[in-house]
Chains A and B, each alone.
Chain A
Amino acid sequence: MAILPSSTRSRAGVRWLLLAAFLGLSASFGYGQAKNSCLDCHSTLPDPFGVTQDKFSQDIHAQKGLTCVNCHGGDATSDDADQAMSRKAGWKGKIDRKQIPALCGSCHSDPAYIRGFNPSLRTDQLSQYLTSVHGKRLAGGDTKVAVCTDCHSVHDLRAPSDPRSTVNPVNVATTCSRCHADAAYMSSYKIPTNQFAEYSKSVHHDALAVRGDLSAPTCTTCHGNHGATPPGVASVANVCSTCHVFQSQLFDTSPHKEAFASAGLPGCVTCHSNHGILHPTDEFIGTGDKAVCTQCHTQGDAGYAAAGKIREQLAQLAVAIGNADQILGTAERSGMEVSQPKLDLTQARDALTKARVTIHSFNVDRVGADVKLGVAAAAKDYTAGQQALAERNYRRIGLAISLIAIALALIGLRLYIRQIES
């Protein structure tokens, strides 16, 4: 006896048929994940052989459809480990450190191949790497130096724009410091290992890591990334001038340009240092304890006198701005409307900023011209503050007179009321 009525049975049969057809078509069109037997085993292995599905799915290559075999070779479709990792199937095993740049370059140096994924991605990484200190030393047989995977990570390699990427601008300094701040690791190279500690105190680190300004420089901005190398004495100024354009132009026209070059001094770094560049203050210039000018200039020479004069000019403008700010603040707290002169005071502040840039000409007159403009603007705002306070006092006197008049009127009314009611 049939359990189901014939009409129901026929409907159930059609459903099974449709499901089977769907599964068959899905398989033939590659619907779902491609088979990757490597992860079946390696996801259960301990480090350094372990790569979980979760970790690998984070990798930009996996997201673009590449699998283990694209780098390691072998046959990921086979469940037989011997077959999957057979030399016959092209299995390369663990990639030798020396071979890593070339392996990565086999794709990343091929514009035609890379264009298929990201047409704007550069393809000169390997050629640059070969010119870097890292690349040269690797070619010389030093396998301690950084190769692609040391900086970019491996099996969970993310795009540099990803904030979790080891080469995202915010993380670059930390990535470099993994080797360069390790005194034991770097001992054989005889180079300092305090760069990261110094950089962490710098104005550049503050801008990048604290204020989140991604345009602020990190290690690779000055040293290059794939072609990383220390900038030579001659090119330091060029490195800084990529951002600090005006300072660089002024420096080039200054007497210091030639003097530094003949003394073999590395331009900007001579006064500002390299990794630990602090926020410059006006005390940097002049003849005081913190002034950098006295590193070379001594009392009696023209540079010493000019430094002192420039310092005086900056102080004069700073004091003028401070005075205007104070009097406008007092007027504002008294309820006076001084938003316009307060806004105008930014002209004086801008002049001070400009003068601080003009310092790099080391020309007393040029700095003086900027300071003069600023002092004039600050004086105008100070006068506005004085007028506001005078107006406040005038109002208060007016109020006192009005209140006296009102009091007299009240007394008069009271007396009048008393008179008419008596």
Chain B
Amino acid sequence: MNPLPKLRQWLDERFEWDDLIAPLREKAVPLHRLSYWYFLGGITLFLFVIQVLTGILLLLYYRPGANEAFESVQYIMTQVQFGWLIRSVHSWSANLMIFTAFAHMFSVLFLKAYRKPRELTWVSGVILLFLVMGFGFSGYLLPWNTLAFFATKVGTEITGQVPIVGKPMMIFLRGGEEVTGATLTRFFGFHVAVLPGLATLLILVHVLLVQRLGISVPPKLEVEWTANPSVKREMKFFPNFLLRELMAWYVALGVLGALAAIFPWNLGVKADPFVPAPAGIKPEWYFLFMFQTLKLIPPKVWFIDGEILGVLAFGVIGLLWLLLPFFESDHPSRTKRWITGVAIFALAYVAGMTVYGHFAK
């Protein structure tokens, strides 16, 4: 006897289950030669779930504190059954998630999926990207190794360059004038409580908006399909697209497992605040384009401090980026080409500066 129909009936009698999942049955995914890009959001979500699960497992053994953090991660890596796998998957998944989040953002940008009525989907997505980078920045310090310690020192110092609010912000982030155990506990709090709470809320908003507004179609195709609905091609979200998404998740899982087993995430050397910073200290790759830019700006530009100018410029660019959909035309036939130009330039700049920053001394 199959219990599923009975369970479904039981749910339907109480929660009107069929009505609840009706939109899922209705939901369709546009089918065209660029449909593959639609998988990126789902893969990012999958990696976020991996992060949450592995993060909870790491919490069972991780101890925040300058005297314990490094040793506890070392214990996880060497003594805890499959601890190495959990920690390596967490670290690799974090990096892959940031990569897929960036890729998802640029795919949305090039497919012009941010247009009316999806402005808020874009806004919530960009804020999510900032949060994900915050996850990376706060999580990087948690093993309390030398590289993390000095990268955090440099990173928070850059925050301190912001006029007026910079110094109080830096002291707030560090929990004092210097990077100490207080910074570590603070970052731990951001990493496991503040950021996950905010991110979960925004992911819900983001997914609900996607659900409510449906999936966007590139403007040219939208014009074509509106003029001639008979050429419109779609795929049912459930189960056809979801099964394909599941395949993508399996592939992501395989890549994650391979990276974790062949290149377990390095632990490094325990941080010692009294030793000089290692030569050529650099942040994680996703901050490199900003770091390299700040390095290239002259110490003084006219009468303004170069670093302050750089930080302010990134702040303004970040804000404009967030508001990008509001500069776009409402009509699919009259989309603004300069936004595509900006997108190409931004992608080339971020990629180029990241590679340059990686090889620069």
Contacts and interface: CB of A to CB of B under 8 A. Distances in A.
A10 B266 CA distance: 84
Give the interface size bracket for A toward B: 20 to 34
Interface residues of B, number: 24
Q: Which of A395, A396, A414, A416 has the most CB of B within 10 A?
A: A395
Nearest to B71: A340
B68 to A, nearest CB: 16
A336 B264 contact: yes
Contacts of A416: 243
Interface string A294-338: 000000000000000000000000000000000000000001110
B266 A420 contact: no
B262 A399 contact: yes
Interface in A170-196: none
A337 to B, nearest CB: 4
Interface in A389-416: 395-396, 398-399, 402-403, 406-407, 409-410, 413-414, 416
Nearest to B270: A339
Contacts of A414: 247
Contacts of B85: 395
A337 B74 contact: yes
Contacts of B84: 337, 395
A54 interface: no
A398 B258 CA distance: 10
A335 B78 contact: no
A331 to B, nearest CB: 11
B11 interface: no
B267 interface: yes
B96 to A, nearest CB: 16
A335 B262 CA distance: 7
B240 A409 contact: no
A417 interface: yes
Interface stretch (B49-57, B248-256, B302-310): B248-256
B212 interface: no
B24 to A, nearest CB: 16
A421 interface: yes
B240 A398 contact: no
B264 A335 contact: yes
B246 interface: yes
Nearest to B244: A417
B332 interface: no
B92 to A, nearest CB: 12
A396 B262 contact: yes
Contacts of A410: 247, 250-251
B77 interface: yes
Nearest to B258: A399
A414 B250 CA distance: 12
B76 to A, nearest CB: 9
Contacts of A402: 254, 257
A10 B244 CA distance: 103
A398 B267 contact: no
A-B pairs with the 3 shortest C-beta distances? A399-B261, A335-B264, A337-B77
22 contacts: A335-B262, A335-B266, A337-B84, A339-B74, A340-B78, A395-B85, A395-B261, A396-B262, A398-B261, A399-B261, A406-B251, A406-B253, A406-B254, A410-B247, A410-B250, A410-B251, A413-B243, A414-B247, A416-B243, A417-B240, A417-B244, A420-B239
